[in-house]
Amino acid sequence: MAQATLQIVKISGHAGPVAGAGVERSEQLCKLIDTTTCIGCKACEVACLEWNGYTFTETSFDNSYQTMPSTAWNYWNLIKFNEHEREDGTLQLLMRKDQCMHCSDPGCLMACPADGAIVQYSNGIVDFQQQNCIGCGYCVSGCPFDIPKFNSETKKMFKCTLCSDRVGQGLEPACIKSCPTGCLHFGTKEDMSFLAESRAKQLRDHFGFEKAGVYDPAGVGGTGVIYVLHDVTNPEAYGGLPKDPHIPWVVRFWKGPAKWIGNLAMLFGVIGVTLHYFRYGPKEIHPPRNGNGGKP
Partner 1 sequence: MSSHVISTPTTRTTGEPGERILRYTLGERVNHWFAAFTYSYCLITGLAFWSPYMYWLAAIVGGGPTARFWHPWLGLAFTASMFWMYQMWDRDMRITEADRRWAAAMKSYIENDDQNLPPEGRFNYGQKLFFWLMFYGIILLLISGIGLWFVEGIPWSLRWLRYLSVTVHVVAAMATIGGFIIHVYMGTAMVRGGFTSIIRGEVSTAWAKTHHRLWYEEVSKRQTPPGQAGTRR
Residues forming contacts to partner 1 in the complex (CB under 8 A) are 13-15, 113-115, 132-138, 140-141, 146, 149-150, 155, 240, 248, 250-251, 254, 258-259, 262-263, 265-266, 269-270, 273, 276-277, 280-289, 294-296
CB 241 within 8 A of CB 235: yes
Q: Please report how close the Cβ of residue 117 comes to partner 1 at its closest, in angstroms.
A: 8
Name which of 11 and 29 has its Cβ closer to partner 1: 11
Q: Please report how close the Cβ of residue 277 comes to partner 1 at its closest, in angstroms.
A: 6
Q: Please report how close the Cβ of residue 222 comes to partner 1 at its closest, in angstroms.
A: 22
Name which of 4 and 267 has its Cβ closer to partner 1: 267
Name which of 25 and 283 has its Cβ closer to partner 1: 283
- Residues 6+ away with beta carbon under 8 Å from 29: 123, 124, 125, 162, 167, 186, 187, 188, 189, 224
The four Cα atoms 106, 107, 109, 114 give a dihedral, to 10 degrees, of: 180
Name which of 41 and 73 has its Cβ closer to partner 1: 73
Q: Please report how close the Cβ of residue 122 comes to partner 1 at its closest, in angstroms.
A: 21
Q: Please report how close the Cβ of residue 175 comes to partner 1 at its closest, in angstroms.
A: 23
- Distance separating alpha carbons of residues 254 and 259, to the nearest angstrom: 6
CB atoms under 10 Å from CB of 81, counted, come to: 18
- Distance separating alpha carbons of residues 152 and 131, to the nearest angstrom: 15
Q: Please report how close the Cβ of residue 70 comes to partner 1 at its closest, in angstroms.
A: 8
Name which of 177 and 246 has its Cβ closer to partner 1: 246
Name which of 20 and 257 has its Cβ closer to partner 1: 257
Name which of 100 and 212 has its Cβ closer to partner 1: 100
Terminal Cα-to-Cα distance of the chain (whole angstroms): 69
- Distance separating alpha carbons of residues 279 and 20, to the nearest angstrom: 48
The four Cα atoms 197, 203, 204, 207 give a dihedral, to 10 degrees, of: 170
Q: Please report how close the Cβ of residue 234 comes to partner 1 at its closest, in angstroms.
A: 18
